[in-house]
Amino acid sequence: MMKKKVRALALFSGGLDSVLAVKILEKQNIEVTALSFVSYFFDDSKAKVSAEKNRIKMRSVDFSDLHCEVVKNPKRGYGSAMNPCIDCHLLMIREAGRMMREEGFDFVATGEILGQRPMSQNLAALKLIEKEADLAGRLLRPLSAKLLEETAVEKAGLVDREGLADISGRSRKRQFELAKEWGIEQYPSPGGGCVLTEVEFGKKLKKLLDEIENPTASDYALLKTGRIFWKDGTRIIVGRDSEDNAKLKVMQEKGDILVELGDFMGPLALVRGKITEEILEEAKKIIAGYSRHTKGVDYKNLKFTIKG
């Protein structure tokens, strides 16, 4: 009788550690599906490129709504900006666990490395993640496995412990050596893909959450475009350049108003919220102030077009 192929789901950012974690398992003839999570705050573009270059089968998982709840109320708090990294990572592993059970995969793997991040990847934290994700014995860290307790999947012979690695700490030397040995050349540099780690974005997000209980996908997307001014609970979003202006036009929804200078080039404003004469005056004043063609001119003497 043919032996059933072992199947794993692996969390995948596209970075070197996640590529190596997949490759170690593939070398054991395990069928790996890499999971790249997508939310309002990060996408899968880097992961897609890396998966393609490294011939890894990847699936994108949009968990925006679940992720938003974690961003609003992280049990374990935020990092240096509004990044709830511990809860976010845990949510990804939990979701992978749910998919594993639903789709009959054998285990979940991650590219975590013991001691790489002192707070979130120490021994106690790795054990806690496994427990909280309800994945006892079925969460494998292939890069550090030999330094960790043997998992149920190793004991059951689904994975050969001898073929796993014993990497720990912050040095990347071993990973670079393995990458060279296995001919892995293409992988994005770590970090940089999640706007929640940016302090300025965090301030804008906090303000949005203070003002609006349940922001929509479009509200989150608007945080990434233009300068945002708040007045009496209404947003005036002003384009910084022609690219922003074009985006704001596309993002206009029912109830939003677009305010543009009539006779001059310059930024436009998308106004979202309760629209009053006072708010519209404010929007006109702001865009006139940002246009280099109307410097020194009282905005009251300018023409505007209002589209709603």
Binding site for ligand SF4 (CB under 6 A): 42, 83-85, 88-89, 194, 196-197
CB 279 within 8 A of CB 231: yes
* φ and ψ of 260, to 5 deg: -130, 150
* φ and ψ of 263, to 5 deg: -110, 0
C-beta of 170 vs 180, nearer to ligand SF4: 170
C-beta of 37 vs 304, nearer to ligand SF4: 37
Token digits of residue 142? 């292939």
Angle (CA) 179 180 181, round 5°: 95
Cα–Cα dist 263/302, whole Å: 8
CB of 221 to ligand SF4, least distance (A): 17
C-beta of 83 vs 225, nearer to ligand SF4: 83
CB of 85 to ligand SF4, least distance (A): 3
C-beta of 40 vs 304, nearer to ligand SF4: 40
Instruction: Report the SS3 class of residue 226.
Output: coil
CB of 61 to ligand SF4, least distance (A): 13
CB of 40 to ligand SF4, least distance (A): 11
C-beta of 89 vs 204, nearer to ligand SF4: 89
CB 174 within 8 A of CB 167: yes
Please report which helix (H) or strand (E) contains residue 65, including its range: helix 64-72
- In order, the DSSP letters of 11-33 are E--SSHHHHHHHHHHHTTT-EEE
C-beta of 38 vs 251, nearer to ligand SF4: 38
CB of 208 to ligand SF4, least distance (A): 17
What is the strand order of the sheet 234-238 is part of?
227-231, 234-238, 269-272, 257-261, 304-307
Cα–Cα dist 168/145, whole Å: 10
CB of 162 to ligand SF4, least distance (A): 31
